[in-house]
Amino acid sequence: MLIDCYECKAQVSDSAASCPHCGAIPLDPARSLPVDVSDLDMKFRTMFWFLIKLSFAAVPAVIVIYTAWTVIGGVLSPLLHM
Ligand SMILES: [Zn+2]
């Protein structure tokens, strides 16, 4: 989509980072900049909550593995010492 540059009024793509005619930036700060910021913020929050969930999920997993290892060790060690 083409929009008018606010500096030189030339036809400029709304996806362009700056006006190729006069170099004015940003062409549409309300449209271009907050999208990038919120997108980065969303990715950061997703990563943050993923790490939180991962750390919570790791706790029962470690307990299960430790319990299983203790039970297996408790069953096997008398057999091994017979
Ligand atoms: Zn321009």
Distance 25 CA to ligand 1 centre (A): 9
Q: How much is the average pLDDT of 60-71?
A: 91
Confidence of residue 57 (pLDDT cuts 50, 70, 90): confident
CA 41 to centroid of ligand 1, rounded, Å: 30
From CA 80, how far away is CA 82, in angstroms rounded? Answer: 6
**What's the domain count of the chain?**
1
Give 31 or 59, the one with higher predicted confidence: 59
Q: Reduce the DSSP state of residue 20 to 3 states and report it.
A: coil
Full domain range(s) for residue 42: 2-80
Contacts with 3 (C-beta within 8 Å, 6 or more apart), sequence order: 11, 12, 13, 14, 27, 28
Centre of ligand 1 from the C-alpha of residue 28, in Å: 12
pTM of full prediction above 0.75: no
Distance 27 CA to ligand 1 centre (A): 8
d(CA 56, CA 65): 15
- Residue whose token pair is 């980072």: 17
